[in-house]
Amino acid sequence: FSILFFGVAECFLLAAMSLDGYFAVCCPLHYTIIMSSRVCRSLVVGAYICGTAVGLVHTLITFSSPLCGCAIDHFFCEIQPLLDVLCGNTLPSEIQVIVVAVFAILSPFSLVIYSCIPIVSTILHMASAESQEKAFSTCSSQLLVVTVFYGTAGSMYLRPKYSYCASVDKFLSLSYSLVTPLLNPIICSLRNKEVKGALKKKW
């Protein structure tokens, strides 16, 4: 439940961040009105509600079936390795995993891509080359992290059970559960002038 809760919440939080970036770049004069504190709170609460719903649905459905084994070949208790130890017909559970993944992974990723297109268009119309370079460095780094996160999570959840491979699944799980959450604050920090200055002094 915890893995699903935080993973799905992160999917929707990344989409909310991209929406925030879209309004900041494309509607700067209306930004404070559109992205009020109430809207920001609603987006965060909505992300955690989606995480709770997905976590509960997957957990309840998975553990309502009898288990034929007690050990999974994985770093943590995730849906795919659990499906391998379920007894009987797991097809309904597999379909449910893919359907929920479309909602929880593809929908937010589509929103991220949809919000990036007008941002890139706005950046290309900026008069200053320095402003363009700064905006592109910000967008490209965020887009890289988002693509790695959604790409690895999607390739883990949007495929049938017969294609599961323990070694590949472990690598994919580490990518979206550890690597991208660690990369995000580092990338955000490196855009901060004070952090850059402190790193230069340290070196």
Residue-wise pLDDT for 127-173, tens only, equals: 677 766 766 666 777 777 788 888 888 887 887 777 777 777 777 78
State the Cα angle at 109 between 103 and 113, rounded to 5°: 140
Q: Quote the pLDDT of residue 119.
A: 77
> Would you say 88 and 71 are in contact if contact means Cβ atoms under 8 Å apart?
no
Q: Quote the pLDDT of residue 39.
A: 92
- d(Cα 173, Cα 196) in Å, to the nearest integer? 31
Q: Quote the pLDDT of residue 95.
A: 83
User: What average pLDDT does the segment 162-191 reach?
Assistant: 74
Which residues lie below 8 Å from residue 99, measured CB to CB, with a gap of 6+?
none
Q: Quote the pLDDT of residue 181.
A: 75
User: What is the phi/psi pair of residue 175, to 5°?
Assistant: -60, -50
Phi-psi region of 104 (alpha: psi -120 to 50; beta: other; left: phi over 0): alpha
Torsion, CA 171, CA 174, CA 176, CA 178, rounded to 10: -160
- Is pTM beyond 0.85? Reply is no
> Would you say 138 and 44 are in contact if contact means Cβ atoms under 8 Å apart?
no
Q: Quote the pLDDT of residue 47.
A: 94
pLDDT tens for each residue of 47-103: 999 999 998 988 888 777 777 767 777 777 777 777 777 777 777 778 888 888 888
User: What average pLDDT does the segment 93-117 reach?
Assistant: 86
Q: Quote the pLDDT of residue 116.
A: 82
User: What average pLDDT does the segment 19-38 reach?
Assistant: 86
Q: Quote the pLDDT of residue 98.
A: 84
- Give CA 77 to chain center in angstroms: 19
